[in-house]
Amino acid sequence: MRTLRLALDWTANTNHTGFFVALAKGFYTEKSIELKIITPEDDGYRTTPAKKLELNEADLALCPLESIISFRTKNNPFPLTAIATIFQDDVSKICVHKNSGILRPKDLDSKKYASYKARYEDHIIKSMIKNDGGNGVIEIMYPEKLGIWNTLLNREAEATWIFDNWEGVMARISGVELQYFTLADFDIPYSYSPVIATGESTIARYPDTLRAFIEATREGFLFAQKNPEEATEIILPYIPKHERNRAMVLTSQHFSNKHYGNEDNWGHMDLSKVQLFYDWLHNERLETQIFYAEDTLTNALLPVTARR
């Protein structure tokens, strides 16, 4: 039995259903893997999932693709590598209250934005505003990460970045009307989030273990697609109590299922799509070094049908 530690990017939600399903259904056990899931609740998000991986507090981490570049360009670089994506599409959105008077990104000029303090996040938001004809001058605030959603609900901030399949569904179920902006609509080629990442040395030393992990995880997500009711019952106990609304989670599960991919492409990352984002980072002078997608991610651990 091989033990793997997976650090989630957030408290349990339908971005993660496949992991919990694979645990409950014994898919990891069938592959001789014991999976231990670490959530940000364990330390109040003092350490990001990718940092946990670097510190050897985790073997795998969920993180946005931009973390791959961020960790490779630190003063002491860490060769973080993406090995699969959870979603085939970008399901994230920038959101504001519908009655806020903010109808377009340019209306965010001089407004408050609640940031996760990710390396490129603030620049991405400012670029979206500029690309819509604004000045890109916005007041950035940095609340505690796990409390960011509440700053929007309580109108302490006027905008933040969410997953539409989770917070967006949560808002609609609770009657909160939001306005959404998608980065691609404003010429920002954002790619994959979250991705499953690990270190280059782990891939080199344990390719068979990682391949088995990916196969079991894929089974979990595909099972959730075909059995949303059962998948909801499996993940529900792991969701924080204040969000543990079965109708909301089931609605979110149906939403998420549409974006996981299918038996042929689950986990696959399109190199050309990733390269567009890397080129954007370089063109925006956020990175002086040119990065190539094939050097920072691999589809080689996926089933044959998803490698192409």
d(CA 38, CA 58): 8
Chain center to CA of 207: 23
In the prediction, which pLDDT does 305 show?
A: 72
The string of pLDDT tens digits covering residues 1-25 is 699 999 999 999 999 999 999 999 9
In the prediction, which pLDDT does 88 show?
A: 96
In the prediction, which pLDDT does 308 show?
A: 65
Q: Which two tokens stand for residue 297?
A: 């991610």
In the prediction, which pLDDT does 1 show?
A: 66
d(CA 194, CA 33): 22
The string of pLDDT tens digits covering residues 186-235 is 999 999 999 999 999 999 999 999 999 999 999 999 999 999 999 999 99
DSSP string, 81-127: EEEEES-SS--EEEEEEGGGS--SGGGGTT-EEE----TTHHHHHHH
In the prediction, which pLDDT does 46 show?
A: 85
In the prediction, which pLDDT does 45 show?
A: 82
Tell me how many degrees the CA angle 112-45-205 measures, rounded to the nearest 5: 125
CATH fold label, 92-186: D-Maltodextrin-Binding Protein; domain 2 (3.40.190)
> Which burial class, exposed, middle or buried, applies to 167 when counting CB atoms under 10 A from its CB (0-12, 13-18, 19+)?
buried
Residues in the chain, pLDDT under 70: 1, 306-308
The CATH class given to the 2-89+192-306 domain equals alpha beta
- Around 277, how many Cα atoms within 13 Å sit in the side-chain half-sphere? 23
Question: Is the pTM for the entire model greater than 0.75?
Answer: yes
Domain segments of the chain: what residues? 2-89+192-306, 92-186
CA proximity to 180, closest of 204, 161, 208 = 161
Check if 2-89+192-306 and 92-186 are the same fold. Answer: yes
